[in-house]
Amino acid sequence: MARTTVHEIGHWLGLRHIWGDAICGDDRIADTPPQLDKNFGCPSFPHRPNNTCGSDANGEMYMNYMDYVDDGCMTSFSKGQVKVMQEVMNTERFELSRSDKCDASVGINTPENSKKYFHIINNINEGNYNINLSPEIYNTPMLVYITDIRGKVVYNKNESYSTAINIDISNESEGMYFIHLKHKNFEATSKVMKTN
């Protein structure tokens, strides 16, 4: 189920093993309960309630991706772990979000034959994006919507554009967004970065 990859990416984004790599070790995450040791297989809940390291009646968070249980038994990161990963993503791994390997002028889901219709200028900025249109589609209806990394729609506009589309999402928080263009001649999705 590829949970090994999830676990290793957790390390790559700053997480330690949930048992802290020692008997009653510390993973430096406040909301994961202290754990006696690594777990294997698929324990049943509650596992080691009130353990000697100070867990409560709910016992150990063996279902955490940073334990060693079977793939089908791993289901979650804690909120504290997510916070650490987001911090690392915004610092040590920040260059990844600026990689041009999925450049917006090319798009992440933009069929080759649709690229002639539009061009996104300056896809990394504080939330103002300009998309130049080609004359063939001037003043024809188009749906433009933007989703955040979780798929939530943060911008939605259906109208005819003369020569360019101007989009302002400067009120949204920093991060990666996807601009979707839906026109009778083409459909495309492109990545943009919103900085602070």
Catalytic residues: 8
Other Cβ atoms less than 10 A from the Cβ of 125: the count is 14
d(CA 32, CA 30): 6
Query: Per the structure block, which two tokens stand in for 36?
Result: 């006696």
DSSP per position, the chain: --HHHHHHHHHHTTPPPTTTTSTT---S-TTSPP-SS---S---SSBSTT-TT---TTB--TTBTTS---GGG--B--HHHHHHHHHHHHTTTHHHHT-STT-TTT-SB--GGGGGGEEEE--EESSEEEEEEPGGGTT-EEEEEEEETTS-EEEEEEEE-SSEEEEE-TTSPSEEEEEEEEETTEEEEEEEEE--
> 130 pairs with which residues across the strands?
121, 166
> 119 pairs with which residues across the strands?
132
